[in-house]
Amino acid sequence: MAKVKKAPRPKAQTPKGFRDYFGTEVTERADMLKTIAEVYHQYGFDALESSGVETVEALGKFLPDVDRPNEGVFAWQDEDDAWMALRYDLTAPLARVYAQYRNDLPLPYRRYAMGPVWRNEKPGPGRYRQFYQCDADTVGSANVAADAEICAMLSDTLERVGIPRGDYLVRVNNRKVLNGVLETMGLSDDAQRDAVLRTIDKFDKVGEAGVRELLGKGRLDASGAYIDGVGLSVDQAEPVVAFLTSKSSDVAKTFANLRDAIGASTIGAEGVGELEKIGDLLAVQGYNADRIEIDPSVVRGLGYYTGPVFEAELTFEILDEKGRKRQFGSVAGGGRYDDLVKRFTGQAVPATGVSIGVDRLLAALREKGRIGGTVQGPVVVTVMDKDRMADYQTMVAELRNAGIRAEVYLGNPKNFGNQLKYADKRESPIAVIEGGDEHANGMVQIKDLILGAKIAENATLEEWKERPSQYEVPRDQLVAKVREILDLNP
C-alpha cells in the first residue's frame, strides 16, 4: 500500500499586505480613537457602526484601484449568487445606511464612524491592505457652514490628539472653482477633461513648469521616459496654471486671482463665493490662516468631490528611508460629495465629511516622540508553592480591586528565575513573592523591577543606591506598598 503523504504544515506568516498589531500599538490606537470620538461627540455627531461587508452593488463605482481584481475590493459570491465585498472606506456604507433608514433619521444626519477598511491594492512600504479610518459626515445639509464646521472639527481633533498649532495646516479648495476653470477653457471632450484633471493631480509632484508641459506636448519624467501631453495650446492651458498658482499670502488677493482664472463662469463664481463664506465662518470662530487656509493647490480627490474639499497636512520635517528631510504630509482629507446617496434614492442628497488616516496619524505622533515606547506591564504575583494557588489568587484579586493591573504567574513554577524573566518580558514594574517562610510569618516580599533594572544599568547613581529595590512588608500592607512603588515609577 502506498504511503499516504502528510499534508504540508501551513506557513506561519502574515498574508501579503497585512500586519499584526501588539500591545502598545493596540493601546495607542484605542486611546487615539477615544480622543477623536470625544471631539466628534462634542460637536454633536452620533456614533454609527455599520457592517464591515457590503454588496458590491452598494459600494458603487468609487473604487480605489481599478487595475486590481474586483476593481480594488476583496469580493466573493454568496450562495444566492450576490456579490459581497469588504468595505473599502466608511463613506460608501454611510450612503447605503442613510438611504435605507432616511425616514427614521434626523435631517441633517450627523454621524461619526471608526474601524478597519480593506483594499485589494498592491501593497508597498507603509501601505497595507487593511487599515483604520475615522470619519465624520453631515448628510442632508447644503449649507457651507457644514463644510466649515468639518474643517474646524478637524483642526480641533489634530490638536487634541497631540499635534500642536504650527505643526499642521488644514487646506481648503473647491471643485466648483475647477469646474469653472474647465468651462473657461472650452473643453467639450470628456476624455480631454479627464486628462486635464489627471494632470492637475500631478501639480504637487511636477510643479508649474511640469503641468505646463503635460498640458501641452508632454515632458520627460525622472526616468527619462517621455510622457505624452494633453495637447492644449498655451492659451488653453493658462486658466489651469492660473488656478493652481492663485494662492497669495493675502487671502483677498487669492480670491481675486481665482476670479481671474474662472473668467465669466457661473459655477466657478459660485465656488469662489463658497470659499469666501467658509473663510468668514472660520475666522469668526478664531480659526485663522495659521490653522486653516484657503489653498487652490489642493487638488487630490477633486474627481470625487462636488464642492469644497479639504486636506490636513502635517508640516514638520522627518527623515525618509534615505536620510533626506521631507514633510510628513497628509493625514486626513474630505469634502462635499452631493451625488453619492443619489445612487440609491434617485434624488440628490447633499453631504460633506472628513476621513482621518489613523495609522498615519499614529506614525506622525511617534515621529515627534509624543507617543511610543513601552506600556507598563502588570504586577506579577509569583508562585512559590503551587499548592497555595488560592493564596496567590487572593493577592491578585486585592490588587485588581484596588485598580492595579496584576496577574498570577501561570507557567511552570519550579524555576523561580524563569518567573522573573517572564516578569521582565512583560515589562512588569513589580514582582510579589511569598514563600513558605514569608507566609508563616505573615509577610510578603515586593521586588521593584524598574529600580532593579536601573541599578543594573548604572549602579553608581547615588539617587538609586539610597533606595532599596526589594521590600518585606506585612501581608495586609501588600496593596499599599505596591501603590507606593508604582507612584514612584509613573
CATH code of residue 188: 3.30.930.10
287 and 433 fall within a common domain: no
Bridge partners, 444 (sequence order): 473
Q: Is 300 annotated as a binding residue?
A: yes
Residue 335: what pLDDT? 94
Sheet holding 443-448, edge to edge: 406-408, 379-381, 430-433, 443-448, 470-474
* Same structural domain, 286 and 342: yes
471 assigned to a ligand binding site: no
Q: How many domains does the chain have?
A: 2
Residue 90 annotated as binding site: yes
Instruction: Look up residue 21 and give its amino acid.
Output: Y
Q: Looking at the structure, do residues 350 and 383 belong to the same domain, yes or no?
A: no
Q: Are residues 98 and 230 in the same domain?
A: yes
Judge if 339 and 388 occupy the same domain. Answer: no
Instruction: Establish if 3 belongs to a structural domain.
Output: no
In a domain, 41, yes or no: yes
Q: Is 212 annotated as a binding residue?
A: no
Residue 119, annotated ligand binder? yes
Within-domain flag for 91: yes
Residue 95 in any domain: the answer is yes
The CATH number covering residue 443 comes to 3.40.50.800
Instruction: List, in sequence order, the alpha helices (H) in 371-413.
Output: 389-401
Provide the H-helix boundaries in 12-162.
23-42, 56-59, 91-101, 144-161
Burial of 79 (0-12, 13-18, 19+ CB in 10 A): exposed
The whole-number pLDDT of residue 347 equals 87
Domain termination site, one of 335, 367, 399: 367
Indicate whether 444 belongs to any domain: yes
Rounded Cα distance between 373 and 180, Å, is 50
Residue 108 confidence (pLDDT) = 95
65 carries a ligand binding annotation:
no
Residue after which a domain boundary falls, among 367, 394, 417: 367
Is 304 annotated to bind ligand? Answer: yes
**Cβ neighbours of residue 353 closer than 8 Å, sequence gap 6 or more:** 91, 94, 135, 136, 137, 138, 150, 334, 335, 337
Has residue 275 been placed in a domain?
yes
Q: Which of 339, 367, 395 is the last residue of a domain?
A: 367
Backbone dihedral angles phi then psi of residue 80, each to the nearest 5 degrees = -95, 20
> Looking at the structure, do residues 333 and 479 belong to the same domain, yes or no?
no
Q: What is the pLDDT of residue 321?
A: 62
Measure the CA–CA gap between 281 and 288, rounded to whole angstroms: 10
> Do residue 248 and residue 392 come from a single domain?
no
Domain span at residue 302 reads 23-367
DSSP one-letter code for 386: G
Give domain status of residue 15, yes or no. Answer: no
**Would you say 91 is a known binding-site residue?**
yes
Residue 101, annotated ligand binder?
A: no
On whether residue 14 sits in a domain, the answer given is: no
- Which parts of the chain sit beneath pLDDT 70? 1-2, 61-71, 188, 300-303, 319-325, 373-374, 452-467, 490
